[in-house]
Structures are given as C-alpha cells and as structure tokens.
Amino acid sequence: MNSPLEASQLPLAPLGAGDLIDRAVRLYRQHLTTLMRIAAPPVVVTALGSVIWTIFWRRIFTAPETGAMTLYLLLAFLGGGIKASGYIFNLIVMGGAARNVVAHLLWGEPVSAHATYSAVRSRFWSLLVATVIVAAWGLLSFFVAFMALYFVAAVIGVSAALLGFISPYLTAVVIIIAFIAGAVVALWLLFFMLGRVAYVPQVLLVEGKGIFASVGRSFSLARGNVRRLMAMTLFITFATYSALMILVVPLGWFGYLQGVDPSPWNAASWPAWYAIGYSVLEPLSSILLTPIWMLGLSLLYVDERVRHEGYDIELLASQRLPPVPEIGVASPFGPAISVDPRTLPPPPLAASGKVLGL
C-alpha cells in the first residue's frame, strides 16, 4: 500500500503517460471523498439540465397544440442551456482545483472544497471568459479533425473506386487500412489542438496571469504533450463509460422486468421514468471520474514546467529565499505560485523540506 507521502511525490525525471495516470489515481484514492465533494456541484447542475431537457423534449412530440409545443421547445432549450452551463461550471471548478492540487504538491496544503471554491471565487469572471475561449477552441479543434477525416475518406473513396476494377478484395483491404490511418490522423490533430489550451486554468490561478496571457502561456507550455494527453483522455473516457455501465445495467434489468426495451435504439419508446433515470446516470458517473481528469491535468502542467523551465529549482528558491525585489525585469517564466490577496497565502514549507515530495 502506498503511503500518503508517496502519493504526492513527483520525481524530477519527466513523467510518461502511465506515470501521470498512476499518480493521479493514487492522489484520487487518497482524497476520494473531498474530490467528490468538489466535483458534485457542477455535476448536479448538469444532471438538472439533463432532466429538464429529457422531460420537455419528449413532450414536444405529444403536445396537442402549437402553443404548448412552443412552450415545451423553449423549456427543452432551457434545460440544454442549464446542462451546457453545468459543463462550463465543471471546467471552472477544475481551474480552481488546479491551484489547490499544485499547492498540495508543493507545500502539502490540504486538498479541500473550501480552498478550491475560494480560488474559483477569486477569479471567477476571468475563469469564465477563459473557459468560453477554451470551449470555442475545442469546437474548432473538432471541426478541423472532422475535416481531416472527411478529406481522408474522400481520397479513400476515389482510390477504392479505381481499385475496384482490379480486385474487390484489394479494395476492402485498402479501405480498412486507410480508415484506420485517417482516424489516427484525425485524433492526433484533435489532441494537438486541444493540448494548446490544456493549461489555461492552471496558468490563471497558479501563475496569476491575465486571460489572454494565460492562453499564450498555455500555447508555449504545450510542447510534445499530444501522446500523454491522448492517453489520459482515452483512459478516463474508458473508465467513465465503465462506471456508467455499472450504473446503467441495474436500471436496464429493472426496466426489462417492467416491460421496457432498454436498447438505446428504442429510446423514443422509453417511459418517462426510465428516460429520466438514464439521462441522470451519465452526469452522476462523472462525479467519480472527473477528479482523475482534474488531477491528471494538474500533474501534467507541473511536469511540463519541470521539463521546460526547471520548475523544481524555482520552487526551491521560492521556498528557501525571500521574495525577489521588484527591479523592473520581467521573467520569461511564471512564478512558482502566485500569492493573491483574495485567496489564502500558501502555507510554510512542509516539515520534510523537500521539493515536489522528493
């Protein structure tokens, strides 16, 4: 069994994807209940939006009058807006948790919901604008990845048509290989672009920079993180859907015993109670896995600074030496951790006197 100290350790050597996931899971196990309390409020908002959307979207198709259908349509879009707000709120809370997690790694500050939401309140509007920018960039990333896949599919279609005159078997092999290659290219482009803005919330709250300076700083930090970001995303996606299946299977069995066809292809025929239960389970399952994603991005941010900026040396200097006087010289790097008077200052150096748990 790993001790609490071991769970917080971050070696000086660059961490691979497996090491990052391993440390995120160990930190998650150590602070399970606290992290679930941190993740719960945005998930509750998302679940509320999902319930409203499900109820009134189903009513649209059974409304006897045009006026009632219009009302249900507006309420359905209201539910969709609440659900989207829940996702944005989740990203904002992840930014606040990043400062708490980094302070925990550096100084042993306790991981707590109070510290996380205090950090969120200190720069809420900046986090909100930055989150909207990140979301817009994410939509652009998905569009670019889709267009890349579409281009590859078009080339495949033309090639398959030409090869069809030679051998249908050769055509099938070429289509399969090209489809796999196109999917890999599209995924690489997607995570290459998403990785550019992966550290915006961390820079905002850990380094205390402005919105656009944080975006530029995230671009400069994100070098060579595609494979690690992709590995973390695939791991958390698989784990989230595994947790979802654990919750959905009992509901499916109960619905089956009540005469409900649980197949997703027959969702239009589900009774209201089953459809609402199914729509609530997806956001609830994210309570269990969102903290791992939050921890993974925070660890990845610290690791990037250790790789590119000698962050460990900077931390040692900030802990051992008095503050550097203002002499009008700007550092190209961010501070070890910013001290905002609106948030609690970092605690003194841990008794071990070690940097990053070493």
**pLDDT the model gives residue 140:** 92
The better pLDDT of the pair 37, 243 is held by 37
Whether 259 contacts 286, CB under 8 Å: no
The predicted model gives 205-225 an average pLDDT of 84
For residue 325, pLDDT beyond 80: no
Confidence of residue 354 (pLDDT cuts 50, 70, 90): very low
- Output DSSP code: residue 266: G
The better pLDDT of the pair 46, 357 is held by 46
Cα 151 from Cα 331, distance rounded (Å): 44
In the Cβ-directed half-sphere of 267, how many Cα atoms lie within 13 Å? 10
Cα 207 from Cα 256, distance rounded (Å): 53
The predicted model gives 271-299 an average pLDDT of 79
Q: What's the mean per-residue pLDDT of the chain?
A: 76
Cα 176 from Cα 156, distance rounded (Å): 10
For residue 33, pLDDT beyond 60: yes
The predicted model gives 171-191 an average pLDDT of 81
- Output DSSP code: residue 259: T
The predicted model gives 284-307 an average pLDDT of 79
**pLDDT the model gives residue 137:** 92
For the ranges 112-116, 271-275, 312-316, the one whose mean pLDDT is highest: 112-116
The better pLDDT of the pair 12, 97 is held by 97
